[in-house]
Structure 1
Amino acid sequence: MTHRRSTPEPTTIGEIGEFGLIDAVVRQLGTGPLVLIGPGDDAAHVATGPEGTLISTDLLIEGRHFRRDWSSAHEIGTKAAACNLSDINAMGGTATALTIGFGAPADLPIEWAVDMARGFEEEAARVGAHVVGGDVTSSETIVIAVTAIGEAARVVRRDGAQPGDLVAVVGRTGLAGAGFAALSRGFRSPKAAVAAHRVPEPPYEAGPEAAAAGATSMTDISDGLLADLGHVAEASAVAIDIDPTAFTPPEAVLTVAEALQIDPLTFVLTGGDDYGLVATFPPSALVPTGWTVVGSVDKGAGVTVAGAAFDGDTGHQHWR
């Protein structure tokens, strides 16, 4: 009697998650002398001139990252630009140019595409950047792929945090997450939270300011403060502890949290899509105006809140 050996089921992307997928793909990639920073940070850094060039790409999918019944075309274009400009900001730089890949169904009104492009260009103009090219194709749903290009006088990576550093944030935290929670339940208020989800307001001037002030690491808050700090802690091989009393949740966050009967700090610590910045600074550094110190760096690993592990999801996870 012949016994057939069973073939193990292949591992899926859903099982390994976003960063497991990235690790698997990166192992197949090469590098070269011009690659100063490769995959794994907010942007790549390539030695194309005296200061090098920062490059970042993001993908926005209808139904996953935006909904047309929640946001206007102009708002979606603004958000698409902001997401990518924020990646350059998180490296301590300023974007100079962007390209767009745009996929859409044939029955999409041309006015929608034009309004989206107008919102995109207006947001890019806030930092002096402009769209310089791209590509279009047919698609069953709207797909917006953006590449941002920029430069920095001093590039700040995720892997430079040191024990003894201070952790500080700038920009909104939790407001967009509260807005998403409200919209998901069919509400259009509170207006401040809903507006924050539709159109982020990254603090574009803060990235270069933090770099000039000596920030040792930095990232933007796109998936949630704890989740994004987790990347900093892992890349830097340090432990980070957050002081929850350092935050004052906005009134709109308190309103949504009360309605859903959850702790408002959940939105502040785990809500994504605000695109503020979190950075670490040496204790001797002068933290720039507008930043709030919210924690500290120590020896060890992982991210804790008031010295304890956070009970719950730390932020957004793809394929969850």
Structure 2
Amino acid sequence: MTTIGDMDEDALIALFSPRLPRSDAEILGPGDDAAVLAVDGHLVVSADVLVENRHFRSAWSTGEDVGWRAAMQNIADIDAMGAVATSLEVTLCAPPSTPVDWVLGLADGLREACEPHGVGVVGGDLSGASEIVVAVTVLGETHGTEPITRADAVAGDVLAVSGALGAARAGFEQLERGSRVDEEAIGLFLRPAPRIGAGLEGALHGATAMMDLSDGLVRDAARIARASEVELSIDSSLVPVHDAAVRTARGLGLDVDAALAWALGGGEDHHMLAAFPRTSAVPSTWRVIGEVREGSGLVVDGAPPSVAGWDHFG
């Protein structure tokens, strides 16, 4: 087995660079001191990081899985602004013992996630480290429209989500317990599959506030409430729970309410949560789950939520 410690940096770059996707916005891509991109409208930028044994485990995830997740969660952040992702900058820190095949798999996963959306990898960096860390900066453009933030929801708006929730957490629960009862859920944990373009769809339908659900519905909804200085009220009976989460709960011998808890607090589905000025404005592919009221904070079924969502420092 060849490891990255057996190669120098230039040789490793030459090996994996041809596997990376290219961006339609690219004027000058990998290989120079910086990339040069064409931008239409406002430039939208976000960043995320995946740390081994914190955000992924090598016992569960292949290099392809990590590349896919690194790309998809960042593309979703741009979509949540009502913008279109164009390019990624990817930095890999890894121990010298990391197999070269793992790095090539990372590049393949990035390509598989990015190419359907016209997103490319335009640069990045490599470094040695005691554990694998994949850091991504994503760039996008608005095509002349205004970005949708978390801060403009108003009382009277309705809340809606762009997809069924809880599958990613259901997959995690199976892997954590060492019990594989539903492969779809495991697949959606390892390789999230948000409907990219749903955020732009929400923006075009007049969304007043929006964000990507990465840390769980309740935690992320509370962020919109705080930024907009309003109260968000969620009716749990309206929250769409993914079928794979329901099957997982049953397969693990849990009450079906466990699937709802995963939908409320699980995170990593990367669907969109948005406020709309009226029910008729909500896209037909979305589901209304509550409303925006005068006040502050978040309530679920009229009370503070009983689940907390993902805490990066918890």
TM-score range, shorter chain: 0.7 to 0.9
Deviates more, 1:244-253 or 1:71-80: 244-253
Of 69-78 and 157-166, more deviation after overlay is shown by 69-78
The amino acid of 1:226's aligned partner reads V
How far apart are residue 260 of structure 1 and its match?
A: 5.4
For the pair 1:276 / 2:276, whether they are aligned, the reply is: no
Aligned pairs for 1:63-102 (under 5 A) are 63-102=53-92
Counterpart CA distance in 2 for 1:156 and 1:297 is: 17
Greater displacement, 48-57 / 65-74:
48-57
* Distance apart, 1:244 and its partner CA: 1.2
Q: Distance in 1 between matches of 2:141 and 2:201?
A: 14
Quote the Cα distance in structure 2 between the aligned partners of 1:315 and 1:172. 16
Equivalent position amino acid for 1:287 in 2? V
Residue of structure 2 in register with 1:251 after alignment: 243
Aligned residues: 272
Letter of the 1:261 partner, please give it: L
**2: CA distance between counterparts of 1:272 and 1:252?**
15
Task: Note the aligned Cα RMSD (angstroms).
Answer: 1.5
Which amino acid in the other structure matches residue 305 of structure 1?
A: V
1:13 alignment partner in structure 2: none
Match of 2:287 among 292, 312, 316: 292
Q: Secondary structure at the match of 1:218?
A: strand
SS of 1:126's equivalent in the other structure is helix
Aligned with residue 98 of structure 2, among 100, 108, 124: 108
Q: Structure 1's 210 and 248: CA in aligned 2 closer, same or farther, altered over 3 A?
A: closer
Q: Report SS of the residue matched to 1:156.
A: coil
Structure 2 residue identity aligned to 1:77: G
Kept after mapping to 2: 8 A contact 1:170/1:290: yes
What is the CA deviation profile of residues 3-52 of structure 1, one whole-angstrom value per residue up to 9, with x for unaligned ones? Answer: xxxxxxxxxxxxxxxxxxxxxxxxxxxxxxxxxxxxxxxxxxxxx97721
Higher mean alpha-carbon deviation, 69-78 vs 131-140, is at 69-78
Q: Which stretch of the first structure deviates more once superposed, 118-127 or 195-204? A: 118-127
1:145 aligns with 2:145: no
Query: After the TM superposition, which residues 116-127 of structure 1 pair with which residues of structure 2 at under 5 Å, given as runs?
Result: 116-127=106-117
Alignment partners' CA distance in 2, 1:50 and 1:203: 23
Question: Normalization by structure 1: what TM-score?
Answer: 0.82
Distance 1:260 1:226, change over 3 A: farther
TM-score, with normalisation over the residues of structure 2? 0.83
The 3-state SS of whatever aligns with 1:145 is: strand
Query: Which stretch shifts more, 242-251 or 69-78?
Result: 242-251
Does the Cα contact within 8 Å between 2:164 and 2:242 map onto a contact in 1?
no
Equivalent AA in structure 2 for residue 245 of structure 1: S
161 and 260 in structure 1: CA distance in 2 versus 1, 3 angstrom threshold: farther
Any conservation in 2 of the 1:154–1:212 contact (CA below 8 Å)? no
Residue 19 of structure 2 corresponds to which residue in structure 1?
Answer: none
Is the CA contact (8 Å cut-off) linking 1:172 and 1:275 kept in structure 2?
A: no
Q: Deviations over 1:176-196 (max 9, x none)?
A: 011111111112331111111
1:203 is paired with a residue whose SS is coil
Q: 5+ unaligned residues in a row in structure 1: which ranges?
A: 1-47
Task: Kindly provide the CA deviation profile for residues 76-100 of structure 1, in whole angstroms up to 9, marking residues without a partner as x.
Answer: 1101100110110110111111100
Find the counterpart in structure 2 of residue 188 from structure 1: 180
Give a deviation string over 1:167-221, Cα, whole Å, max 9, x none.
Answer: 0001231000111111111123311111110000121111111111110000011
Q: Does 1:261 align with 2:251?
A: no
The structure-2 alpha-carbon separation of the partners of 1:99 and 1:187, relative to structure 1 and needing over 3 Å to count, comes to same
Q: Kindly indicate whether residue 160 of structure 2 is the aligned counterpart of residue 165 of structure 1.
A: no
Consecutive unaligned residues in structure 2, runs of 5 or more: 1-37
User: 1:316 is matched with which residue: 302, 310, 314?
Assistant: 310
